[in-house]
Amino acid sequence: MTPRCRSAVRAACASWVASGLRWSLLADRNAERGAGSSIVVMMDTSGSATEDVDVWTVRRLVARHKPAAIAAVALVALTLVTIAVSLVGSAAVAVSDATTCSQWGSATQDQQTAYARLYIREHGPPRGVGSQPVSVIGAINNGCMQAYANDISDNVTVAQAISGNS
C-alpha cells in the first residue's frame, strides 16, 4: 500500500508502521508529477539497521580505503614514537661537577639551583663570585659562554667553567 503525498508536505510525505518496521517515504517536489524519484528508507523500531541499510564499521571503512587507513596508522604510530622519545629523552639527570656545558644548557632551572647549592656546600663559594646560588649559576653561565665561543662546550665541565679553567 503506497500512500498518496499531499502537496503541502513534500519532504517527508508519509510514514507508517507495518509489521514491526517503520517505513518512511521521502519524495522530492517533482515526484508527484512523475518527473522525480522517491526514496524508501527502512529501519526497525529499535533503531538497528535492517538488511537494506548499509552499516558503517571501522573494518569496512579500512577495507574500502586501504591506502588512507595505512597512512592513518603510520601517522598515529609516528606520533606515539615521537611522544615516547620525548618522554624518555627528557628524564631528569642530576647535574654534577662532570656535567659539560652542553648538558648544563639543557638542565632545568631547579637542577641548576640544586647544583649551585651543592657546589657551595662541597667546595665553598668561588673566589670573587659570592655565596648565593644565583652567583654560582652566573659564574657557570659566563664560563660556559666562553666555552661556546671557543667551540669546546662539549669538553668543558661546569667545575672548570666556575674556576675559569676552560
The pLDDT of residue 67 is 94
Between 7-21, 76-90, 108-122, 133-147, the lowest mean confidence (pLDDT) is in 7-21
- Residues 16-51 as b/e (b if ≥16 CB within 10 A, e otherwise) read eeeeeeeeebbbeeebbeeeeeeeeeeeeeeeeeee
> How many residues can be counted in the chain?
166
- Where residue 11 falls among pLDDT bands split at 50, 70, 90? very low
Greater confidence (139 vs 89) lies with 139
Average pLDDT for 126-148:
88
- Where residue 73 falls among pLDDT bands split at 50, 70, 90? very high
Between 15-19, 43-47, 68-72, 155-159, the lowest mean confidence (pLDDT) is in 15-19
The pLDDT of residue 32 is 53
Q: Which three cell numbers stand for residue 17?
A: 508502521
What number of CA atoms fall less than 13 Å from residue 90's CA on the CB side? Answer: 7
